Amino acid sequence: MDKNNLTKSEVYSNKLRWFMLILISLVISVNYYVYDAMSAIKSVMQQELGLSSIDYGLIVSFYSFPNTFLLMSIFGGIILDKWGIRRTGFLFVLFCALGSLLTAYGASSFYNDGGLDYVFFNSFMSSYSPELKMMILGRLLFGLGAETSIIVANKIIVKWFKGKEMAFAFAVFLAIARLGTAAALMMSPVLVSHESGWTTALWVAAILMITGLLLFIIYMAFDKKFDDKLEKVRLLSPEEEFKLQDVLNLFTNKAFIYICLLCVTFYSAVFPFQAYCPDLLHNKFGLSISLSGTLSSIIIWGTIVFTPLFGIFVDKKGKRATLMIYGSVLLIAVHLILSLTNLTPYVPMVILGIAFSLVPAALWPAVPYIVKESMIGTAYGVMASIQNLGLFAFPILAGYILDESNSSILPSILKGEAVYDYSWTIIMFAGLGFVGLLFAILLKRQDKIDNLNLEKPEINSNN
């Protein structure tokens, strides 16, 4: 067939679409691995580096600093819509690799013994150790790249799957990506005991992120090859092309505002909770560090199983806003059970895995129904920036509440003579769930007002 007569659907064949999806999913999977590599070894890090819970919260939170206070997710989305997928993706995945390397370097004995830049980092803000500052810098660079690379991945899915199995594609993407989190929660407690030292867990994360960069380069080669076949097939009409004015219009779109606010409250009640979950299980239920990490991974394994199933449901039945409401209710229930009862943690972990499948399976594929195609990258960037405000603030707030609510016994806790009481910290996460539920209800109401079709099956699914 003459390539000038190729349609978009003919070039984006089924095998190619799914191959590209798997490639980009693996890239984000190692991204997730790096993000969660520290959560299962929090207590070891504190003992080895002399960190408080607030210090640990700072390391976790600085992932979100560039995307929250420098608005890099928004700029990254605009750059994506202007530069395109390949150049934008390569730049920001490279930042991920550099950031993960610096994080591991900051914790290493080589750096602690006076390695490169140790003296410089010891010359300012003396109340914070050079190790802490270097790890914060690494986390900042990683966050600078990680969120925009996820935005790139979202646009890739919309590019290859819009009008087809888009919700299922997003679900498969999330399932594969979260394999990285599950692997981190299970492997980090094992690697921390490696004969080469506890920092092996962080070095493995850095090596995996470099592998992710190589995978994205492979994606770029295939994407370029097949985009060349579409050189005379316009993906966007002239009126759909990116315009700067459209960025401002996003903030007058009520449905978009509601979905952003749901995104920040829901994810702030999950990701920061995950960062503390292994330590919670270790302290409240007396589980070993290794078992706590494994049990925390049930959340992720639940999403790996259930997210694709909910994705299929969304493609066939719709009900996006309704599923977001159900997921928010389950999230609230989990946090209240963990904070107010002593019931076995296995059941709440499974329920949280279901909740963490319901909302994302409906939320991310809903965005193309709310904004036009030329604004997809920018819209996801705005969402990521607002989301990162929560991901920056709430790990620090959780650490503050944890230390303050245990202030009378904190010296004993740090000596290993007592354990943390996580009750008030988890109640804070439950409160976020209640706020998220409100925005999910408002989104469903706005869907009816604006006729956005969020409750309907995937449009043009036979294209």
Could you identify the residue written with the tokens 């370029």?
Answer: 224
Answer for the pair 111, 105: CB distance below 8 angstroms, yes or no. yes
Whether 278 has a pLDDT exceeding 50, the answer reads yes
Phi-psi region of 343 (alpha: psi -120 to 50; beta: other; left: phi over 0): beta
140-144, 193-197, 255-259, 273-277: which has the minimum mean pLDDT? 193-197
| pLDDT for residue 242 | 53
Q: Which tokens go with 99? A: 């950031």
Could you identify the residue written with the tokens 């993000």?
Answer: 35
Q: What span, in angstroms and rounded, lies between the C-alpha atoms of 5 and 161?
A: 20
Q: Region 144-154: what's the mean pLDDT?
A: 90
Q: Region 1-29: what's the mean pLDDT?
A: 71
237 in a structural domain: no
- Of the candidates 364, 233, 239, which has an alpha carbon nearest to the alpha carbon of residue 311? 364
| pLDDT for residue 284 | 87
Q: How far is CA 350 from CA 253, 324, 356, 425, in A?
A: 35, 17, 10, 20
- Of the candidates 150, 88, 78, which has an alpha carbon nearest to the alpha carbon of residue 376? 78
Q: What span, in angstroms and rounded, lies between the C-alpha atoms of 350 and 328?
A: 15
459 in a structural domain: no
113 vs 295, residue with greater confidence: 295
| pLDDT for residue 229 | 65
Confidence band, pLDDT 50/70/90 cuts, at residue 287: confident
Q: What span, in angstroms and rounded, lies between the C-alpha atoms of 178 and 12?
A: 26
**How many CB atoms within 10 Å of residue 411?**
10
Whether 2 has a pLDDT exceeding 50, the answer reads no
Could you identify the residue written with the tokens 């002593």?
Answer: 342
- Of the candidates 315, 334, 291, which has an alpha carbon nearest to the alpha carbon of residue 429? 334
Whether 367 has a pLDDT exceeding 50, the answer reads yes
Q: What span, in angstroms and rounded, lies between the C-alpha atoms of 382 and 22?
A: 25
DSSP 223-249: HHHHHHTTTTS-SS-GGGS--THHHHH
Q: Region 81-98: what's the mean pLDDT?
A: 91
Could you identify the residue written with the tokens 């299962």?
Answer: 40
| pLDDT for residue 128 | 75
Number of compact structural domains in the chain: 1
40-44, 209-213, 236-240, 289-293: which has the minimum mean pLDDT? 236-240
Distance of CA 227 to the CA centre of its chain: 28
DSSP 327-370: HHHHHHHHHHHHHH----THHHHHHHHHHHHHHHHHHHHHHHHH
Please state, for a pLDDT cut of 70, what percent of the chain lies above it: 92
Q: Region 162-176: what's the mean pLDDT?
A: 87
272 in a structural domain: yes
CB contact set of 253 (below 8 Å; sequence gap of 6+) = 370, 371
332-349 burial, b at 16+ Cβ within 10 Å, e below that, comes to bbbbbbbbeeeeebeebb
Q: Region 415-424: what's the mean pLDDT?
A: 81
Q: What is the pLDDT of residues 99-141, one digit of tens each?
A: 999 988 988 878 777 778 877 877 777 777 788 888 899 999 9
Q: Region 411-422: what's the mean pLDDT?
A: 78
| pLDDT for residue 235 | 47
Whether 445 has a pLDDT exceeding 90, the answer reads yes
| pLDDT for residue 461 | 40
104 in a structural domain: yes
| pLDDT for residue 233 | 44
What CATH code is carried by the domain that includes residue 71? 1.20.1250.20
| pLDDT for residue 47 | 77
How does the average pLDDT of the chain come out, rounded?
Answer: 84
Whole-structure pTM over 0.85, yes or no?
no
| pLDDT for residue 226 | 75
| pLDDT for residue 446 | 95
What residues make up the domain containing 120?
16-229+242-450
Sequence letter at residue 120: F
184 in a structural domain: yes
Q: What span, in angstroms and rounded, lies between the C-alpha atoms of 100 and 31?
A: 9
236 in a structural domain: no
Helix (H, G, I), strand (E, B) or coil at 45: helix
- Of the candidates 200, 212, 2, which has an alpha carbon nearest to the alpha carbon of residue 109? 200
CB contact set of 34 (below 8 Å; sequence gap of 6+) = 96, 100, 103, 142, 146, 180, 184, 205, 206, 208, 209
Whether 348 has a pLDDT exceeding 60, the answer reads yes
- Of the candidates 298, 295, 303, which has an alpha carbon nearest to the alpha carbon of residue 354? 303
455 in a structural domain: no
Sequence letter at residue 268: S
**How many CB atoms within 10 Å of residue 217?**
14
Whether 8 has a pLDDT exceeding 70, the answer reads no
| pLDDT for residue 90 | 94
3 in a structural domain: no
Furthest CA-CA distance within the chain: 76
Answer for the pair 67, 385: CB distance below 8 angstroms, yes or no. yes
DSSP 244-286: THHHHHHTT-HHHHHHHHHHHHHHHTTHHHHHHHHHHHHHHS-
Signed CA dihedral, 441, 444, 446, 449: sign only: negative
Whether 302 has a pLDDT exceeding 50, the answer reads yes
Q: Tell me the three-class secondary structure of 152-194, residue by residue.
A: HHHHHHHHHHCCCCHHHHHHHHHHHHHHHHHHHHHHHHHHCCC
Helix (H, G, I), strand (E, B) or coil at 147: helix
Q: What is the pLDDT of residues 179-237, one digit of tens each?
A: 888 888 788 888 877 777 788 888 999 999 999 999 999 999 988 887 766 554 444 44
| pLDDT for residue 403 | 86
Distance of CA 264 to the CA centre of its chain: 11
